[in-house]
């Protein structure tokens, strides 16, 4: 199924996170268009909505709004979006779902009321308590953002808006797994994502990493990138608390995805799927589609085309190039006992040279192996309890014998 990350404001944002990989898109987008990149206008958004609703075969249609900072598009833009979605949903008997990922700074009473009324699922980017969060998530003038984000969260809670938290695991907060987890629980988060950050140095004029085109290039990682082993320890420590105390109260996307796979289904995380094409298509503000949110570069190999010139079947066919890249795995991966769980990981992370023949593995290879080794027994136990309908009140005692 195709999944689109709609970017109505493109790379444009009201803060300047030091690890953000999307702010750098400004250079090539400005040079390509030879003008300032504009926000998506409502008419363009309507044309995309119409295409998704009228050409999509499923009754449930999902729209995911991201950035940059998508709330910069303005409340009137989203009011127009929702009005048109509802009009088409009635005509074609569809059910529309909206999700939006935001830094939370612009959320006020008006926004909260709107998001609640129209049942938006909101993702809030927050990396931990004030000290941890403010390390990298800074304003354009290098000021703190924590209090502004916290204020936005209070509005969401006040009006009962459903929200997730997205935490970027970096070289600083990776040292504080339990403190970070405890903090997220303290602010009421029931659905959490932990995304490890790694960005490489040595890029071309469009900030495309040199290793992408040069198979022999030895990539170097940025200072804020998380160490793979430290990342695995971060996730394993949270897993130990979660599986003993929180499995019926807290949803953590990484663990949920692995549990889905252990239950015999395709993982929900695209990084662990055998084919990733079409899972994370980026729709920029000018209507241009790119293979993946993490591969927005000007070369034709990364572009799909303008959505107005293609139908959904054509878009799906043209999004398969990334899956072909993902299935080009190393000999080490093919021999690994965890292959069926990770399928070599995300192509954006495969920059570690394995040998002189150009084979590469994921930067997070060792991290995944350590996590799978640690979590397998607990996940298998969860599957057993679900399949045999064993009362969950007995689970804590059973899991204590493992961990």
* Closest residue by Cα to residue 99 from 187, 163, 150, 160: 163
- The token duo for 99 is 């999700």
Active site residue: 127, 134, 240, 293, which one? 293
Location of structure tokens 């080009």: 328
Q: Return all residues near 126 (Cβ < 8 A) that are at least 6 apart.
A: 104, 133, 137, 149, 153, 165, 166, 167, 184, 187
293 classed as catalytic: yes
Length of the chain: 403
The answer to whether 352 and 361 are in contact (CB under 8 A) is yes
Distances, alpha carbon 71 to alpha carbons 29, 39, 62, 115, 156, in Å: 20, 11, 18, 11, 14
The answer to whether 32 and 47 are in contact (CB under 8 A) is no
Q: Return all residues near 393 (Cβ < 8 A) that are at least 6 apart.
A: none
Burial class (CB in 10 A: 0-12, 13-18, 19+), 60: exposed
d(CA 276, CA 55): 21
* Closest residue by Cα to residue 23 from 7, 10, 36: 10
* Residue numbers annotated as active site: 293
């Amino acid at each position: 199924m195709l999944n689109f990350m709609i970017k109505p404001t493109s790379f444009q944002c009201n803060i300047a996170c030091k690890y953000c990989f999307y702010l750098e898109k400004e250079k090539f987008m400005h040079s390509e268009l030879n003008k300032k990149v504009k926000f998506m206008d409502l008419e363009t958004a309507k044309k995309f909505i119409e295409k998704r609703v009228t050409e999509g075969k499923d009754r449930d249609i999902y729209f995911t709004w991201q950035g940059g900072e998508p709330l910069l598009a303005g409340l009137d833009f989203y009011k127009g979006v929702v009005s048109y979605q509802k009009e088409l949903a009635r005509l074609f008997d569809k059910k529309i779902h909206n999700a939006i990922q935001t830094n939370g700074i612009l959320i006020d009473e008006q926004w909260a009321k709107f998001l609640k009324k129209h049942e938006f699922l909101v993702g809030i980017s927050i990396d931990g308590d004030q000290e941890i969060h403010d390390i990298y998530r800074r304003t354009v003038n290098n000021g703190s953002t924590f209090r502004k984000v916290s204020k936005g969260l209070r509005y969401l809670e006040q009006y009962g808006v459903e929200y997730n938290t997205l935490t970027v695991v970096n070289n600083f907060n990776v040292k504080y797994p339990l403190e970070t987890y405890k903090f997220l629980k303290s602010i009421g988060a029931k659905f959490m994502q932990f995304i490890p950050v790694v960005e490489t140095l040595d890029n071309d004029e469009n900030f495309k990493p040199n290793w992408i085109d040069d198979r022999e290039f030895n990539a170097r990682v940025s200072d804020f990138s998380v160490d793979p082993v430290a990342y695995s320890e971060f996730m394993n420590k949270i897993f130990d608390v979660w599986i003993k105390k929180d499995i019926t109260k807290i949803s953590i996307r990484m663990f949920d995805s692995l549990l889905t796979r252990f239950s015999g289904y395709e993982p929900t995380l695209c990084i662990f799927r055998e084919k990733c094409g079409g899972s994370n298509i980026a729709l920029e503000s000018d209507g241009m589609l790119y293979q993946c949110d993490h591969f927005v570069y000007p070369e034709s190999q990364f572009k799909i085309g303008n959505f107005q010139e293609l139908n959904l079947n054509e878009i799906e066919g043209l999004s398969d190039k990334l899956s072909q890249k993902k299935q080009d795995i190393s000999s080490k991966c093919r021999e690994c006992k965890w292959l069926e769980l990770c399928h070599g990981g995300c192509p954006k992370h495969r920059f570690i040279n394995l040998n002189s023949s150009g084979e590469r593995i994921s930067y997070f290879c060792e991290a995944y192996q350590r996590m799978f080794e640690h979590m397998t027994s607990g996940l298998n136990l969860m599957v057993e309890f679900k399949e045999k309908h064993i009362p969950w009140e007995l689970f804590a005692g059973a899991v204590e014998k493992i961990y």
